[in-house]
Structure 1
Amino acid sequence: MSLLGAAFWLLVLVAGVSVAHWGADKLAHPVKKLRQRWALGGTAGGAIVGLAVAMPEVSLTASSVVQGASDIGLGLMVGTNVISLPLLTTIAYVASRPNESPADGENDVSVGDPGRAQRTADADTESSRHALYIDSSAATVVVLPYVAVVSLVALLTLPAPWRGLQPVDGWIMLGAYAVFLTQSVVRGRADADPADPDWSRTEFGLALAGLVTIVVAASFIVRSTDHLAAALGVSDLVGGLFVTAPLGLAPEAFGTWSVVRSGQVTAGSIDVFTDAAATMTLGFFPLAVVGLPIHNFRLYWVSLAFAVGLPAVFAALLYWQRHGYGLERWQVLFYDGLYLLYLAVVVGWVLPH
């Protein structure tokens, strides 16, 4: 492929991601009203946000199957869940800067814990000034259940007797997502009366248009990734991991920024885990239904190991956060460093073999 051709498909990819972002934004917009309607706290709200913003990845994996490029979908599914966790946590941290006062997020971080707002207000200003305020209950309600989801994927796809993706695996993962979503919503409900926000026909129409836009954009993203992988001389799996996955995060990045800036700090910060859970289960389904062997087993298991390890580290940081008031700057930077470690392992050990 010529340089001009590669540039063309790169532009198609960027345009597809941009259009998918618009669609995701229209889907994510009613989330705050749903939280009010169902009296959902920050952790439960994050589960609903994640389901909405995961639609691009789910559409991409389905589109990759339809277009006969399932390895792109597999790379996207795993790669997104590796890069998204540190990247979106960092974006949430930066977006929360105008909301450094705990009172700004009191409807979020103190949900289900009336004393948390007072404890946060009494925190030492210097020690908590640069913290990302996340309800610590998110560790057990969302993050650790997500670790269980990814561990289940590893159990279903790594052992030699049943290595690869099989149709039965898809049905198992659908059931796993139903359990994940149900427990997140039930355990994360707020102790408050439901509200009755106004719903407009225009809002509903835009949300539907957003869903259609995401599906259409997904087909162009997969096709452009396929051409770019060929131009770079890499496999579809590598293209999905390191081309489609990073660019495909644009909708989630904008969504996280918008939700956190609106004051829903916990919901915006943990929707990356609920989004990743939806990607690893709902996105898993179309790939498993057609049956998919793993062509680069070393790259797959290393990526999956980091997909399990990163949320486990996050849960530990969140559970033992200093004073119980949030993740500090050094913890966010440490988390980013784990992704750099992943890149070093892939470039230095996986790809040369």
Structure 2
Amino acid sequence: MILDSLGMFDATAAFPEQVAIAADAATEVLASAVLPAHDDIQHVVVVGMGGSGIAGDVVREVAGPLMAVPVVVHKGYGVPNFVDETTLVVAVSFSGNTEETLESVADAAMDGARVVTVSNGGALSELAADWGVPHLPVADGIPMPRAALGALAVPPLLLLERVGLFPGGRSWVDAAVTQLHRRRDALINEGNEAQVLAHRLGRSFPLVYGGNGLGGLAALRWKNQFNENAKVPAFYNQLPEATHNEIAGWGQDGDVTRQIMQLVLLRHDFEHPQVMRRFDLVVDYLDEVVGAVHTVAAEGDGMLAQLLDLCLFGDMASLHAAVEQGVDPGPIPVLDDIKRRLAEPVE
């Protein structure tokens, strides 16, 4: 019997529906929202932490390359010094109560930025109401922030479309929903690819590499999900960067790393040709110093579809890894304890 007290398997299996629901809800709110004009925005800043902050990374990697203004993802307290009245700041917090995000959005408002918030209630939605700024709601029923990637990432993308910075954004979302249905349906059967990969990883630590920013973000997502769901160390990097530094650190202790680490390569259709060649070289150099090399190839039409496709595969693999480890994927007591201790008065 699988121990899953928060229903993480069910929440992950509902990812396609989550993306579709988030798109419809955001579209409804944005239809009547008062938003800045396209020409009034010179930069976009997305603030958020953890499972909420990665929504900003999705915006940067999917919409950023097609936008005429830069997208900056800020994870931490405060905001960048350039934030002013020409900045669109999107504050994302699953709970609406993330300490760092609340400070960031307050600072952004004081700097005159145009603010839009995304949350499932909490203090962030209250601030939006007080300030009279648009608030994009996150649906109820999602157990944890890390299970809410679609609910958190889709609203900012459609916001940028509505402002005129990301034309065609809804079509990208619809293509992603189509692919997520295909992938989900393939991954909910016994003996599916994600389950097989988790079994092959066993008790080893995943080292996940992706290509360019898109694959690198997918690799980061895999790392985070293995950390939180399976409660195991996991590591990530992206090409070409890893072939300029990290790869030099492998080999010296290959007799050790071979026993404890396995390499997972995340591939997609938008890799630079030289990045494709670098993947082959990475396998040549690391094949003897890791326990195994696995490859997961993205499917779907467009960058968003392929990114979320890789993320769904990794989410399911991390849940099956939790089963392999004999742990409940839902609770994250050490993270809860850190928040509790930080909230205590300093003696």
- Shared fold per TM-score greater than 0.5: no
Higher strand share: 2
Relative contact order, higher structure (CA 8 A, sep 6+): 1
Q: TM-score when scaled to structure 2?
A: 0.28
